Amino acid sequence: KQEVTQIPAALSVPEGENLVLNCSFTDSAIYNLQWFRQDPGKGLTSLLLIQSSQREQTSGRLNASLDKSSGRSTLYIAASQPGDSATYLCAAASGGGADGLTFGKGTHLIIQP
């Protein structure tokens, strides 16, 4: 059974810093890995999707990497802004991608102005 762990559980940094959020998964036979953002009381917004054949994906100030052999993914946020404050969730898809996602518990990020 796939298990996904995110470290740290919470992070508070000053505005402008570059930061890395970590995600690890136990079963390397994933179909893809997806990073989401969740604002308080809101739904999940998809940030980046990395297919199992890819090593990284970039969108604006966000860069996500995937290392299947070590069971790890990282989300890099450049030049952080207060608007980046949210909970970031990573989720692994298995079984051809149609079997749903296994989520980590998330990293609660606070960017101090």
Question: Which of 55/105 has CB closer to another protein?
Answer: 105
Shortest distance, CB of residue 14 to another protein, whole angstroms?
28
Site residues, another protein (CB under 8 A): 31-32, 34, 36, 41-46, 49, 51, 89, 91, 93, 96-106
Q: Within its chain, how far is the Cα of 40 from the centroid? A: 17
∠ CA 88-10-38 to the nearest 5 degrees?
25
CA–CA distance, 32 with 52 (Å, rounded to integer): 5
Shortest distance, CB of residue 78 to another protein, whole angstroms?
23
Which residue reads 């969730």 in tokens?
89
Shortest distance, CB of residue 79 to another protein, whole angstroms?
26
**C-alpha pair distances (Å), 109 with each of 7, 45, 74, 81, 89:** 11, 15, 14, 11, 11
Question: Which of 32/63 has CB closer to another protein?
Answer: 32
Question: Which of 17/99 has CB closer to another protein?
Answer: 99
